[in-house]
Amino acid sequence: MVNQYSDRAHPRTLCLFDVDGTLSLARQTITPEFHALLAKLRTQCVIGVVGGSDLKKVREQLQIGSKDFTSEFDYVFAENGLTAFKDGTQLDSQSFIGWLGEEKYKKLARFCLRYISELELPVMRGTFIEFRNGMINVSPIGRNASIDERIAFEQYDKTHNIRSTFVSALKAQFPDYGLTYSIGGQISFDVFPCGWDKTYALRNVCLPGFSVEASKTASDLGWDAIHFFGDKTYKGGNDNEIFEDPRTEGHTVTNPQDTMAQLKALFDLA
Ligand code: M1P
């Protein structure tokens, strides 16, 4: 087997991180302190990020300074891994529209826009459907909401169940579409083919000489351990599938400070 990471203290240990609520606060930038800790961690083991957001947003949150952030992680997965980088180089991927087809997508988009048009919300902003490579992201309030409006919507949603009711309506309307609806953030939910959750990223972490086909453990992929850190690890959260996957050791965190504390306890980091 070719060992690509022989410069690390633990070359067969992979640490994967969710972004929002794990490496940074929701839609905010990673702190310089955590950025420096990740650089230290990278001397110990192999590191990667598995975000639900698209690459632009993950970059906004993880890039500090002018150095391209994709070169500061061994693996970067955006849109659950549908946009993937290994050692700073982009890998081939599938697309949501290619999988679903234009006609089915148009029916889905029309239903969502009609549904949103009839919602009674305290405020509504713009960009209700964001079309991405590996998924669509649907937001009842609109993705142009400010940070304060996001926080207010998240609270409102907790008592009015806007997103979960919307998802139930979509499931009832399109029972044969084979889609997963995942409420991973504050103001929206992601829609993608079943199986294209964050475990999709594991397809691309296979070391040379190993095969992802029928892999059941980290060692099937060539690793001693694959750690995954996420905040939404509960059933229905967008970190749940990869957290529960038998190939990973899951760690639930409550916020970026907690992630840092857990890393310091697990690895030899000051
Ligand atoms: O990473 C979690 C989620 O972050 C954003 O959600 P929201 O805008 O609702 O806070 C989105 O980018 C979403 O796709 C992603 O899953």
Kindly state whether residues 156 and 24 are assigned to the same domain: no
Q: How many residues does the chain have?
A: 270
Judgement on whether residues 24 and 46 belong to the same structural domain of the protein? yes
pLDDT tens string 208-235: 999 999 999 999 999 999 999 999 999 9
Residue 118 lies in a domain: yes
- CA of 52 from ligand 1 middle (Å) equals 6
What percentage of the chain carries pLDDT values higher than 70?
A: 99
Q: Give the pLDDT of residue 270.
A: 77
39 and 171 co-located in one domain: no
Residue 258 is among the residues annotated as catalytic for this protein: no
Asked whether residue 60 is domain-assigned, the answer is yes
In contact, 150 and 186? CB cutoff 8 Å: yes
| Structure tokens that stand for 265 in this block | 């306890």
Q: Do residue 203 and residue 89 come from a single domain?
A: yes
Asked if residue 231 lies in contact with residue 252, where contact means CB atoms within 8 angstroms, the answer is yes
What is the structure's pLDDT at 53? Answer: 92
Options 7, 20, 68, 224, the catalytic residue: 20
Dist CA 182 CA 163 (whole Å) = 10
Flag whether 143 is marked binding: yes
For the cut 70, the answer to whether the pLDDT of residue 2 exceeds it is no
State the distance from the centre of ligand 1 to the C-alpha of 238, rounded, in angstroms.
9
Mutate to test the pocket of ligand 1, among 56, 57, 77, 137 (most ligand atoms within 8 A of CB): 137
Dist CA 233 CA 240 (whole Å): 4
d(CA 218, CA 82): 21
- Candidates 18, 54, 157, 239; catalytic one: 18
Query: What is the number of other CB atoms lying within 10 angstroms of the CB of residue 42?
Result: 17
Structural domain count, the chain = 2
Q: Which residue's CA lies nearest to atom 12 of ligand 1?
A: 53
> pLDDT tens digit string along 169-218?
999 999 999 999 998 889 999 999 999 999 999 999 999 999 999 999 99
Count the neighbouring beta carbons within 10 Å of the beta carbon of residue 269.
14
**Residue 34 vs residues 24, 39, 153: alpha-carbon distances, Å:** 9, 9, 28
185: containing domain: 96-193
173 and 39 belong to one structural domain: no
Annotated ligand binding at 248? The verdict is: yes
Domain boundary among 165, 193, 221: 193
Give helix 162-173 / helix 102-117 axis angle, nearest 10°: 140
Same domain, 78 and 17: yes
Q: Which two tokens stand for residue 2?
A: 């070719």
Does residue 121 sit within a domain? Answer: yes
Answer with the one of 159, 193, 227 that is the final residue of a domain: 193
Find out whether the beta carbon of 48 lies less than 6 Å from any atom of ligand 1. no
Can you give the CATH number for the domain in which 86 is found? 3.40.50.1000
Ligand 1 pocket check for 20: Cβ under 6 Å: yes
CATH number assigned to the domain comprising residue 100: 3.30.1240.20
Q: Within a domain: residue 6?
A: no
Could you tell me if 143 and 183 lie in one domain? yes
- What distance in angstroms lies between residue 53's CA and the mean position of ligand 1's atoms? 5
Is residue 18 part of the annotated active site? The answer reads yes
Rounded alpha-carbon distances, angstroms, from residue 11 to 45, 114, 223: 5, 51, 8
For residues 47 and 132, membership in a common domain is answered with: no
| Average confidence (pLDDT) over 15-25 | 97
Residue ending a domain, choose from 170, 193, 216:
193
Task: Mark whether 28 and 83 lie in a shared domain.
Answer: yes
Atom of ligand 1 at shortest distance to CA of 18? Answer: 1
Q: Are 246 and 209 within one domain?
A: yes
44 and 127 share one domain: no
Q: Establish whether 132 is an annotated binding residue.
A: yes
Cα–Cα dist 17/75, whole Å: 10
Report the C-alpha gap between 210 and 122 in whole angstroms. Answer: 53
| Residues with Cβ within 8 Å of residue 185, at least 6 apart in sequence | 20, 26, 27, 52, 53
Task: Verify whether ligand 1 is closer than 6 Å to residue 24 (CB atom).
Answer: no
